[in-house]
Amino acid sequence: IRIASTETNSIQSLENSLDGQLKVIYGDFFRLDPLVTGPVKPPAMCSDKLFETMGVAAVPWRADVPVKVFGILPQKKERNILWRLLFALYECGSIYRCGRVELNIFISEKEYKVLTAKPGDARAYQALTVLWQVGCEIQLLHMEPWSSFVTNLKHGGLAVPKSMWLPNDHLCLVRLTPQQNLFTGGLKPTNSSTFIFMVKQCLVRPKSRLTDRLNSWSLDSDGKLLRELEIPKNAATRDLYPEDYRRLFEALQNSNMFTETWFHDEALESIRNIN
């Protein structure tokens, strides 16, 4: 068993009593691979250094899961961390350089509802939904009421993230296992940033028609591509299933439409700004 943790005192004493069965590594998993230049200081650390210390070697993407991670997302940075993990997943960067790392993480119920939303849900179905559902198998392992946790607020209340539109009464243990077939079609780590940009831009206005969005990019102006994919001409962007977005992206890749327009350059610029 190997644990990366910032709470090392009690765990360190446990390591000393287990005759090598437990290895403690000081660090913060959610500060892996910081976007900085120069030496990285603990608790931040580089994932390649972490896996080297753990003795974990990279495996092919379609191989079994090489590492399982268990943790709790910091509530104030929950959405940012989910996006950062998502970029790492699609680009096979950071922890995903060694293969299909499995995440078992506690997240708020409102974010779990977003990750598992269905097409047409105006409040929950977002770009984050589409991209995580295309990229991973999502399993709910457990739901625990917020009242079960001790709070550190001075007035004694629960430190529960506010949510106006989605239920948020529980902390959810969710398993995110990358799909084995994620990169078996036209989607690849080298073009995944374009796919992410396409999905994000389509769902900026979820009520808008997909046809209008494609026309604004000078893509599929005659609707031929949508007809071939059997996507209704009047379909709103929030009505498409995650796999529809993947099929659309791969069809556009095969047609070379991305390279014939300004779309590709704008996608790269947008991703740089996000990172």
Please report where in the chains the tokens 């990172």 appear, as a residue: 275
What number of residues does the chain have? 275
**What are the structural domains of the chain?**
7-178 (3.40.50.150), 191-273 (no CATH)
pTM over 0.85? The answer is: yes
Cα 270 from Cα 161, distance rounded (Å): 28
Residue 69 has a pLDDT of 94
Does residue 204 come out as left (phi exceeding 0), alpha (psi in the -120 to 50 range) or beta? alpha
- Binding-site residues for S-adenosyl-L-methionine, in ranges, read 1, 28
- Which segments in the chain show pLDDT lower than 70? 1-9, 150-159, 161, 258-275
177: which strand partners?
A: 137
State the pLDDT at residue 224: 87
- Binding site, by residue number, is 1, 28
Q: Tell me the per-residue pLDDT of 237-261, one tens digit each, with 9 for 90 and over.
A: 999 999 999 999 999 888 877 665 5
Q: How far apart are CA 104 and CA 274, in angstroms?
A: 25
Rounded-to-integer distance, Cα 138 and Cα 117, Å: 11
